[in-house]
Structure 1
Amino acid sequence: MHLLFSYGTLRQPEVQRAVFGGEVAGEDDAVVGHRLGEITVDDPRVVELSGKSVHLMLIPDEEAGEVSGTLFRLTDEQLARADDYEVDAYERVEVPLRSGRTAWVYALA
């Protein structure tokens, strides 16, 4: 199992159903040492699934507080599907969480 933290569209039930084939249960947590920004997404599939062309972007910032979101436990296949969903502006990196755990997250590439 993989821990994946989401602060954006992967928390939307309709996106989960399209990406993972069903809704995925998660728990509240937060990423520390980061802040949120925004990017414009031009991938028509992602815009259609999420209903948005402007998406949140996680940006490292040691002066920032924390970014709240949801922590998911994903299988290898689910993580690969999440990788396929995210656009090239994001890269999957490991980050520290408020809970003391470490998880994958999609952040500014």
Structure 2
Amino acid sequence: MTQPATKLTIVVERLLEPVVERLLEAAQIKGYSVFPGGGRGSHGTHHAYSAQVVREFAIVKYEIVVADRAKAERVADTLISQHLTHQPGIVWLETVDVLRAWKFASS
């Protein structure tokens, strides 16, 4: 049986990892996954698996699933308004159906 939840996806440069992780911790979000990323946008091309001259400019993708959509929205709003005004990054929310819903009950 599935249960609805909210998935927050954050794609940013690695140099923002400490910022993202502090926001998640402040929101009491305990579980998330981080993946290497790449792509092309207004800030140029970021290759996912090539060597980076400056490691901090590599792209990372966070996937966070929470039961409380308002909590995900607060994290997204804070990240966008305080850290992504001049930094490359994409943030989105989507409703997902999760199995093992008890894993997300406190997030």
Which of the five TM-score ranges fits, normalised by the shorter chain?
0.3 to 0.5
Bigger helix fraction: 2
| Bigger radius of gyration | 2
Bigger strand fraction: 1
Greater RCO (Cα-Cα under 8 Å, separation 6 or more): 2
Structure-2-length-normalised TM-score: 0.41
Structure-1-length-normalised TM-score: 0.41
